Amino acid sequence: MTHDELRESLPAFALGALDADERQMVAAHVATCETCPAELAELERVVMGIGLEAAPVTPPPGLKARVLERVAGLSASEAKRSMPGRTPVPFTPQRHHDRPAASSSMLRLALAASVLIAVAASFYAWGLRSEIVALRQSVAASSAEATTLRGELTTLRRNWVEVTRTMNVLKAPDMLKVDLKGQGTMPDAAGRAFWSRTAGLMFTADRLPALPAGRVYQLWTITGTVATGAGTFTPDAQGAVSISAIVPPGARQPDAFGVTIEPAGGSATPTLPIVLVGKPN
């Protein structure tokens, strides 16, 4: 290769982009050439400039300590080998005070940066915490809502069963309808019973007076001289009530329906007087 050809390879040589054989030739030439070393030095400045173009990135926080540890390790092993002209000085953090103003401002800057990082980290953590709190709240709200919905669903199912049973009673071919009239102290009260051997019993009433605590109304079916309990109930604030009950298999058609006032839980036999009574027409 001529001098000019070798010189043309200097930029690639400086970049380290030559293949091995060419690199060796150029290196050998530069070692003996008068002009090429100066040109190469300039190209190396360019290459260093390219490297400084890469964006600096803050190293992880622990890295400085590891670097200094490793250097301290190197200096310790050098001390053992007692290398001449190199007296290791131990790392003494307090010696930072002896540094020129420029480097103590560096230290302050590093400290400020680490404070900033800590502040940023705590903001981040705070953000996460409030996010967790918000999520917990919305989970709690969702679960409360689910409970409410489950309750409503249960109520609706119960209502549906009630409605279905009512419908079945009302459309039963053997349906018996009996009106009940208020007696004695509650002349305004009125009720109506629907009875079907197959579909069950339904009873509604209006204008029933409120009862003292511990007392309930109880509905009876009366067949001959036998009264059978058909459920206890407490009317709402308007004195209205609607209940349904199952008719035991094999029951005979009742001769009458009656309502009495009983202790809470109901009684096995009616306690007189009868406050509402009615017979099939």
Binding residue for another protein, selected from 27, 50, 141, 226, defined by CB under 8 A: 50
Nearest CB to another protein, comparing residues 59 and 263:
59
Phi and psi torsions of 125, nearest 5°: -60, -40
For the stretch 59-67, contacts whose Cβ atoms lie closer than 8 Å and that sit 24 or more positions apart, written own/partner, are: 61/114, 61/117
Site string for another protein, 225-244 (x = CB under 8 A): --------------------
What amino acid occupies position 193? A
Provide the 3-class DSSP secondary structure of residue 142: helix
Strand pairing partners for 205? Answer: 191, 241
Q: Which is nearer to another protein, 64 or 136 (CB)?
A: 64
- The distance of closest approach from Cβ of residue 5 to another protein in the complex, given in angstroms and rounded to an integer, is 11
The minimum distance between CB 146 and another protein, in angstroms, equals 39
Residues 53-112 binding another protein (CB under 8 A) are: 53-60, 63-64, 66-68, 70-72, 74-75, 86-92, 95-96, 99-100, 102-103, 106-107, 109-110
Does residue 16 bind another protein (CB under 8 A)?
yes
Provide the terminal-to-terminal Cα distance of the chain, rounded to the nearest Å: 132
Interacting residues with another protein between 122 and 161 (CB under 8 A): none
Q: How far apart are CA 97 and CA 101, in angstroms?
A: 9
Find out whether 15 and 44 touch, Cβ atoms under 8 Å: no
| Residue given tokens 């067949």 in the structure block | 223
Taking CA 213 as the corner, what is the angle to CA 264 and CA 179, rounded to the nearest 5 degrees?
65
Position among 1, 28, 38, 42 found at the interface with another protein (CB under 8 A):
42
Where do we find the tokens 């079945």?
168
Task: Write down the least CB distance from residue 126 to another protein, Å.
Answer: 21
Size of interface with another protein, in residues (CB under 8 A): 58
Minimum Å gap between C-beta 62 and another protein is 9
Distances (CA, A) of 163 to 156, 166, 173, 179: 10, 5, 18, 20
Instruction: Find the part of the chain contacting another protein (CB under 8 A) among 12-20, 218-226, 228-236, 237-245.
Output: 12-20
Tracing tokens 């009630």 back to the chain, one arrives at 162
| Chain residues that interact with another protein, rule: CB under 8 A | 8, 11-12, 14-19, 22, 41-60, 63-64, 66-68, 70-72, 74-75, 86-92, 95-96, 99-100, 102-103, 106-107, 109-110, 113
